[in-house]
A = this chain, B = another copy of it.
């Protein structure tokens, strides 16, 4: 069974569990706007004309697409029923929905999870128009709970791909740490990591411009930034944020290096203290992650550890889910801020993969943050790969 077939079957099980009759992904010209769920439903293909991809609680798998795209779609062996059309999708769509007579039609709209929000406003209006003289226009509901479950609950195959992505990331980091010398620029280090990714034949987990982020010393702009021409100097913390994409699945890992100054054999106390605080925050939040925990309650733990130690709050979430994209959606280890919607209020589930990534600044030295990837099991969160437990030193 292909991964797409496996995920579509999982979606049907989720429809049963959530008692939702029908899930409709309604798209057009996906080279322009691509619903994120298409990766699970049609793979890397595009659909040119208005198309309806329907899964039902009874196990039906129906695609209504332009006739010129039927053959390509049939080759994916995902849909049992392929309905082609030449000029107008509205007729076959209305007929199909009338035949299925669903009590709920879940569509890809969500205020919280962007990956459940692929339906554009105009496509929503067009859909309502097509259904306006039927009983079904009033039965539209958000597919957010279906998509949260489907993207969150990793299958064995998905998890293996993420494990491999993490393993490769770890190897690239090790080679990079051996490569770094005082006087190199952040950009040179970033380029070396790009070359290594190519050697491993993997993609990057987010756009190359800021994957990796490389921050050497206190003056490097932290956040979603690319490397600059700042040079590595003794006394710098070097902070990395990097991830690769292996067979469509991502890793997302932050690492820390300290560049020893003349005579130093370890990092200065304030750097050590920052490192230990971050390590502790990660370990304590990981230990608290159990199936059924609320994401926000985990963010609170890490946030308090930093604040209690006298550091300011990090201005982002403690961790996000990881999957086909580095920032996958649904339950979030995040604060209750507007920008995160309701995602931090959701429960953690077995099979979800999260990052844990608190951060703090150490004045005069640089940015101290680590990011570990964990998988939710019945017993709680387990590290994928080896976490960074000690500062790594580079000789100045």
- What are 10 A-to-B residue pairs whose CB atoms are below 8 Å? A29-B329, A33-B34, A33-B35, A33-B117, A72-B226, A75-B226, A89-B339, A114-B120, A117-B123, A119-B121
Distance in angstroms from A28 CB to nearest chain B CB is 6
CA distance A209 to B43 in the complex (A): 10
A209 and B72 in contact (CB under 8 A), knowing A48-B224, A49-B339?
yes
CA distance A315 to B325 in the complex (A): 36
Contacting residue for A122 out of B89, B111, B125, CB 8 A: B111
Query: Is A156 an interface position by the 8 A CB rule?
Result: no
Interface size on A, residues (CB 8 A): 65
Query: Is A50 an interface position by the 8 A CB rule?
Result: yes
Contacting residue for A124 out of B44, B121, B126, B327, CB 8 A: B121
Q: Is the CB of A337 within 8 A of B88?
A: yes
CA distance A29 to B50 in the complex (A): 24
Chain B residues in 8 Å Cβ range of A89:
338-339
Interface positions of A (Cβ within 8 A of B) = 28-29, 31-36, 43-46, 48-50, 66-72, 75, 85-90, 109-111, 114-115, 117-126, 206-210, 221-226, 315-316, 325-327, 329, 335, 337-339
Q: Chain B: which residue is nearest A316 at the CB level? A: B68
CA distance A214 to B333 in the complex (A): 48
Chain B residues in 8 Å Cβ range of A48:
224, 327
Q: Is the CB of A71 within 8 A of B223?
A: yes
Q: Is the CB of A225 within 8 A of B66?
A: no
Contacting residue for A32 out of B68, B86, B114, B337, CB 8 A: B114
Chain B residues in 8 Å Cβ range of A90:
338
Q: Chain B: which residue is nearest A113 at the CB level? A: B32
Chain B residues in 8 Å Cβ range of A68:
222-224, 315-316
Q: Is the CB of A221 within 8 A of B71?
A: yes
Q: Chain B: which residue is nearest A140 at the CB level? A: B121
Chain B residues in 8 Å Cβ range of A326:
31
